[in-house]
Amino acid sequence: MSALPTSENFKANAHAALGDAQLQKALGHVRVNFIERRASAAAGLPEFEALRDSARDIKNHTLAHLDLYLEAYEKNVTASGGRVHFARDAKEACALIVDICKAEGARNVTKGKSMVSEEIGLNAAIEAAGMAAVETDLGEYIIQLRGEAPSHIIAPAVHLNKEQVEADFRRVHTALPEGRNLDAPESLLAEARGILREKFLDADVGVTGANFLVAETGTSIIVTNEGNGDLTQTLPRAHIVIASIEKIVPTLEDASQILRVLARSATGQDMSVYTTLSTGPRRASDPDGPRAYHVVLLDNGRSAMLGTEFEDMLRCIRCGACMNHCPVYHAVGGHAYGWVYPGPMGAVLTPSLIGVDKGGHLPNASTFCGRCESVCPVRIPLPKMMRHWREREFERHLSPASVRYGIGVWAFFAKRPALYRLAAGIAMGALGLLGSARGRFRKLPLAGGWTDHRDMPAPQGRTFQSQWKAKGGRTR
Amino acid sequence: MPDSSAKPRVGLFATCLVDLFRPSVGFAAARLIERGGCEVIVPAQTCCGQPAFNSGDRKNAREIAAQNIEAFAGCDYIVAPSGSCAGMMAKHYPELFEGDPNMAARANAFAAKCHELLSFLVDERGVTKAEADYPREVTYHDSCAGLRELNVQSQPRKLLASVGGLTLTELKNSDVCCGFGGTFAVKYGEISDAIVTEKCAHITAGGAGVLLAGDLGCLMNMAGKLSRQGSKIEVRHIAEVLAGMTDEPPISAPREPGK
């Protein structure tokens, strides 16, 4: 994918998404299935709420001592025969990975699912260096064939339907018989599995992300449902882990604690099908496994979030529950957000990573309904942090002039109760008279944003405060 | 020392939308609070400051908050017929004055006295019955801030169950946002429209002839959409039904000639 953001065009992206009947149908899956599954998984575990507290506390503790845990992690990776590389930004991370691949003499690189690799635009970098990069997660494989970005952090192809996938497979898998039957989802799966099996066997280097990096052991952990991550990291000569610094947890015990909320929040499973731990390269006694093990640790703006009002965001474990429960995500899907991370977590993280000048729409495009926070397994106050972005925008005068002006005029009256009562009395009296026959307005000057889509209910007439006073109600 | 037998003094924060658009909700709220054994005063007021707060304008939000804290200083409770505005005052005022040596303690004390109307009646005043009849089938939307910031969920249902003749048909996805979101409805009108359209589909499919909720913003959004769709579903604030004050036409409905 291209890592070039289109978040500035959020409104146009959203407009297109709302008019895309196929996408709207596909989003129905998110609106129903993810929500029901999470709810039943959470309800099935009496200690679920306590586990959320515990997951939050583990992450907070780790972030408060991140430097120490990073050092311990590096030491333990090195002790197990691996190497840790620190990358300040996307460019450095890509260069490090490309260099390792080159040093391995690689031609084919397989990849497990990794949002950080999307963030740094890794596939493009590998391909620009003359090597092939193949996504091995089914959803990622499909969108790679289409040249698209993921539209969801755990279900990257959730915006597509079966027929679209079939058409892509027929377009790309030209060595297979034309008349083959691909009607059933199982046949699509079998075809992808057959193609990917060859890719796994041909791979020189395997790149995976990490759900956790365990400081006490130098272990990286991935969770998958397809087993593709295991084949990606065990078959090739070298395994490269690309992960961002906040993936660290102190101990294996901590990781298992958080694992108990991760899959339940994401897919509603008790555990993902595969939870795979890797610690260093193949040991002398191991029958298989990679001969080289590298970890590229990416900062890319995260350390700058420490100690700020956005630090809580670094607790995120990328489960996707926030977007699964977001009415805005349900309406427009992930691509409208215009970069790697969609939904509420993306609305907070994206401005941190690409700048609020480019990503400013995202934290504004929220009703603050709070459903994301209510399901977040690590209790990130997502609406509060979106509001913090709005504050930064307001301070920097990045908010649209019409908004600033509107708020200014409104605040002028709101801060002057006597003037407010006078103006409100006149305005509501007039609107009440105008609107009483129909009870509503189909059009109102300056209210097009509202009346383009719905009627504006007419006011009853005199304001409550003036009627209260007139009826002798007490004001003090 | 105040007389311990005296009724608690409740400052009714009507909310700007009720003040401007639907005063009948203010009178219904006042009646319910009085029936809850309290005396009601309505100090001069404008708005809770949420439009500024949610637009990132902390300075104006703070000034408006300070104005309200001052205006309601003599009240034992501050009650609003809105989870959104009550949530702003109860949950976010302390945030606005965090670390401010002059205001933090006052803001915290003020916030602790702020309640949403229905949770005030049930949880603080122990009200179990609404003295009203309303022989209609109604459905109820849980407004987001009340539900998630203030745990307003069982209280409205409990009181509705006590209304004579009323049948509550639960709304599918009643806890999902209606797409209002304050300025969101105007800034991102098209997305807001998609969300409220989905909400109205559930409301219509449910079959109840009346839609109730506890926040006028959400109600105006849903009523505006339903009336644009030509729906005959009546939309009211829940306080009107609980107080037995349903003489005014429903939200977005025409006034009958001569009334």
Q: What is the tens place of the pLDDT at every residue in A1-25?
A: 345 789 999 999 999 999 999 999 9
B92 plus B145 within the same structural domain? no
Identify whether B146 is part of a domain. yes
Please check the confidence at residue B10 and state whether its pLDDT lies above 80. yes
For chain A, report the end-to-end CA distance as a whole number of angstroms. 64
Q: How far apart are CA A285 and CA A305, in angstroms?
A: 43
The Cα of B67 is separated from the nearest Cα of chain A by a number of Å equal to: 7
Residue to substitute from A36, A366, A367, A392, interface B, most B β-carbons within 10 A? A367
- What is the three-class DSSP state of B177? coil
Q: Which of A252, A276, A303 is the last residue of a domain?
A: A303
The domain that holds B157 is classified in CATH as 3.40.50
Question: Does residue B19 fall inside a structural domain?
Answer: yes
Boundary-marking domain end, from B124, B159, B181: B124
| Position A476 in a domain | no
- Chain B positions touching A449 (Cβ under 8 A) are 185-187, 189
What are A301-309's contacts with CB under 8 Å, separation 24+? A301/A89, A301/A352, A301/A353, A302/A244, A302/A245, A302/A246, A302/A352, A303/A66, A303/A245, A304/A352, A305/A352, A306/A63, A306/A66, A309/A385, A309/A388
Q: Per the domain annotation, does B1 fall within a domain?
A: no
Is A372 contained in some domain? Answer: no
Whether the predicted pLDDT of A367 surpasses 60: yes
Q: Which of A303, A330, A360 is the last residue of a domain?
A: A303
Residue A371 maps to a domain: no
Residue B229 resides in a domain: yes
| CB–CB contact B55 A390 (8 Å) | yes
In the predicted model, is pLDDT for residue A28 greater than 90? no
* CA–CA separation, B206 and B165 (whole Å): 19
Please check whether residue A237 lies inside any domain of the structure: yes
Distances in Å between the Cα of B154 and the Cα atoms of A42, B118, B145 are 21, 10, 15
In a domain, B120, yes or no: yes
Residue B58 confidence (pLDDT):
95
- Amino acid A1: pLDDT: 39
How many domains in chain B?
2
With an 8 Å Cβ cutoff, are A373 and B181 in contact?
Answer: no
Q: Of A57-66, A335-344, A422-431, which gets the smallest average pLDDT?
A: A422-431
In this complex, the residue of B43, B64, B188 whose CB is nearest that of residue A414 is B64
The whole-model pTM stands at: 0.96
Give B-chain residues touching A438 at CB under 8 angstroms: 254
Q: Mutate which of B7, B13, B21, B172 to test chain A, going by most A C-beta atoms within 10 A?
A: B21
Q: Of B124, B151, B166, which residue constitutes the final position of a domain? A: B124
The answer to whether the CB atoms of B177 and A369 lie below 8 A apart is: yes
**What is the predicted pLDDT for the residue at B257?**
67
Find the domain containing B78 and state its range: 9-124
In terms of residue numbers, what domain contains A216? 7-303
Percentage of the residues of chain B whose pLDDT score is greater than 90: 95
Does one domain contain both B115 and B169? no
Answer with the one of A254, A277, A303 that is the final residue of a domain.
A303
Query: Residue A424 is nearest to which of B19, B22, B41, comparing CB atoms?
Result: B19
8-state DSSP, A455: -
Question: Do B149 and B68 share a structural domain?
Answer: no
In terms of domains, do B199 and B112 share one? Answer: no
B248 at interface of A, judged by CB pairs closer than 8 A: yes
* Dihedral angle of Cα A262, A266, A271, A275, to the nearest 10 degrees: -70
pLDDT computed for residue A3 by the predictor:
58
Q: How many CB atoms lie under 10 A from the CB of residue A117?
A: 31
The Cα A380–Cα A52 span in angstroms is 10
Q: Is residue B223 within 8 angstroms of chain A, CB to CB?
A: yes
Tracing tokens 């005029």 back to the chain, one arrives at: A409
Mean pLDDT of A22-50: 94
Among B46, B188, B224, the residue with its CB nearest the CB of A420 is B46
Q: What is the pLDDT of residue A445?
A: 77
The verdict on residue B131 lying in a domain is no
How does residue A86 score in pLDDT terms, banded at 50, 70 and 90? very high
Assigned domain for B247 exists: no
> Region B166-182: what's the mean pLDDT?
97
pLDDT surpassing 50 at residue B171: yes
Average confidence score pLDDT of chain A: 95
Low-confidence winner among A233-237, A359-363, A448-452, B133-137 (lowest mean pLDDT): A448-452
Residues B100 and B147 in one domain: no
Is A139 a member of any domain?
Answer: yes
Q: Does A405 touch chain B (CB under 8 A)?
A: no
Tell whether A9 lies on the interface with B, counting CB pairs under 8 A. Answer: no
pLDDT of residue A400: 83
Nearest-CA residue of chain B relative to A420?
B46
Which domain CATH number covers A155?
A: 3.40.50.10420
State pLDDT tens for residues B101-114. Answer: 999 999 999 999 99
Q: Which of A320, A371, A364, A314 is nearest to A342 (CA)?
A: A320
Residue B255 lies in a domain: no
CB B74 to CB A476 under 8 A? yes
Let me know whether B18 and B116 are in one domain: yes
Query: Do residues B117 and B188 both lie within one domain?
Result: no
Q: Are residues B27 and B82 in the same domain?
A: yes
- B121/B141 Cα distance (integer angstroms): 19
Residues near A144 by beta carbon (within 8 Å), at least 6 away in sequence: A1, A123, A134, A135
Partners of A424 on chain B (C-beta within 8 Å) are 19-20
Nearest residue, CB atoms, B195 vs list A331, A408, A413: A331
Number of domains in chain A: 2
The predicted structure's pLDDT at residue B4:
54
Q: Tell me phi and psi for residue A354, to 5 degrees.
A: -115, 0
Q: What is the average per-residue pLDDT within B109-128? A: 98
Q: Would you state the pLDDT for residue A179?
A: 92
Residue B1 — very low, low, confident or very high, per pLDDT cuts 50/70/90?
very low
Amino acid at position A432, single letter: G
End-of-domain residue from the set B73, B91, B124: B124
Q: pLDDT at residue B3 above 60?
A: no
